[in-house]
């Protein structure tokens, strides 16, 4: 059976042919032609078109053509479902679907840049997706450091090095992050972790995981709340702002939210804290 799609494949148009040849029709012929010639050649060659608007095998809602192949051909395989999430995230620029999506997109973007022959790219892509399927079926639950004694040994060396040489040294990104937060402190400290990650050019997951090591053993959210309350105490002590104004200036959505977090942090409500200050 022949299948035809647009030339210059990258994500879906490599993943779908792999799926076809491995799980639907091992002898399938995959044809790539210019976008505006797909339907014409499909009719001439009696080929089934895919990954093109207005045809059966295409995107539906937030799912890509790979998802439709799984549904249409009733391919019920948890490993393929894992790959589908990765492909969907890479093909639709929604890397929140799977943590591997960004890597898949980066790999095939680079390969497509280097390889101009679509069939050559497909051949290499078949090997890559074979590897991805093996990971999704047998290895997805393992971390890299669980892969064997060499990884374990390297991890032990790394941890020993961290403990014995410079573990207290604050990395440059942590210093820059403190500066970013300090820059915002006189407005409303509204930086989100996503915004911070973009400013620092860091992966949000890595930043979230490493943050507490350099910020008083607090998560990003806990640290921001701590900074807000410290700023609120400063305003309570040295200004005549009303509590509503202080809540706004320190980034809280309303006074009741401000009061609740303030009491969690200090053991007193802002009103009680202010009265205590006035008695001094």
Least confident of 53-62, 168-177, 238-247: 168-177
Per-residue model confidence (pLDDT) at position 277: 81
Q: What is the mean pLDDT of residues 88-116?
A: 90
Burial class (CB in 10 A: 0-12, 13-18, 19+), 91: buried
Higher pLDDT, 236 or 206: 236
| Separation CA 13–CA 6 (nearest Å) | 8
What are the residue ranges spanned by the domains of the chain? 2-140, 172-279
Question: How many percent of the chain have pLDDT more than 70?
Answer: 80
Q: Indicate whether this model's pTM tops 0.95.
A: no
| Separation CA 85–CA 87 (nearest Å) | 6
The position carrying tokens 């309303």 is 254
Q: What is the mean pLDDT of residues 190-204?
A: 69
Q: What is the mean pLDDT of residues 250-266?
A: 83
Give the domain 172-279 fold: Arc Repressor Mutant, subunit A (1.10.10)
Higher pLDDT, 21 or 149: 21
Per-residue model confidence (pLDDT) at position 106: 93
The pLDDT tens digits for 136-194 are 998 877 665 555 555 555 555 555 554 554 555 666 767 666 665 654 544 444 566 77
| Separation CA 175–CA 79 (nearest Å) | 42
Give the C-alpha distances (Å, rounded to integers) separating 194 from 31, 170, 200, 202, 207: 41, 21, 10, 10, 10
Per-residue model confidence (pLDDT) at position 43: 96
Per-residue model confidence (pLDDT) at position 188: 46
State yes or no: pLDDT of 207 exceeds 70: yes
Tell me the CB-side half-sphere exposure of residue 35, using CA atoms within 13 A: 6
Higher pLDDT, 60 or 252: 60
> Measuring CA to CA, which residue among 26, 268, 217 is closest to residue 126?
26
Per-residue model confidence (pLDDT) at position 153: 56
In degrees to the nearest 10, what's the CA dihedral of 36, 39, 44, 46? 140
Q: In the sheet where 48-49 sits, what is the strand order? A: 29-33, 2-6, 48-49
State yes or no: pLDDT of 25 exceeds 80: yes
Higher pLDDT, 11 or 151: 11
Three-class SS state of 86:
helix
């Amino acid at each position: 059976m022949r299948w035809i799609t647009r030339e210059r494949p990258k994500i879906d148009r490599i993943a779908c042919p792999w799926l076809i040849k491995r799980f639907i029709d091992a002898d399938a012929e995959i044809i790539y032609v210019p976008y505006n010639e797909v339907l014409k050649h499909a009719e001439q060659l009696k080929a089934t078109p895919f990954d093109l608007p207005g045809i059966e095998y295409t995107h539906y809602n937030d799912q890509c053509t790979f998802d439709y192949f799984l549904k249409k051909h009733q391919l019920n395989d948890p490993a393929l479902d894992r790959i589908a999430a990765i492909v969907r995230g890479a093909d639709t620029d929604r890397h929140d679907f799977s943590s591997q999506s960004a890597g898949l997109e980066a790999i095939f973007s680079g390969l497509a840049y280097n390889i101009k022959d679509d069939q050559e790219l497909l051949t290499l892509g078949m090997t890559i997706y074979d590897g991805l399927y093996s990971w999704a079926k047998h290895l997805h639950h393992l971390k890299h450091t669980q892969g064997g004694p060499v990884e374990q040994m390297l991890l032990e060396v790394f941890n020993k090095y961290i403990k014995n040489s410079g573990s207290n040294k604050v990395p440059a990104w942590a210093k820059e992050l403190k500066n970013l937060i300090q820059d915002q402190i006189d407005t409303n400290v509204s930086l989100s972790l996503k915004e911070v990650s973009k400013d620092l050019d860091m992966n949000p997951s890595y930043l979230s995981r490493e943050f507490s090591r350099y910020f008083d053993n607090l998560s990003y959210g806990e640290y921001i709340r701590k900074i807000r309350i410290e700023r609120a105490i400063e305003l309570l002590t040295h200004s005549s702002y009303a509590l509503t104004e202080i809540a706004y200036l320190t980034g809280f959505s309303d006074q009741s939210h401000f009061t609740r977090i303030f009491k969690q942090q200090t053991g007193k409500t802002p009103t009680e804290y202010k009265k205590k200050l006035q008695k001094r």
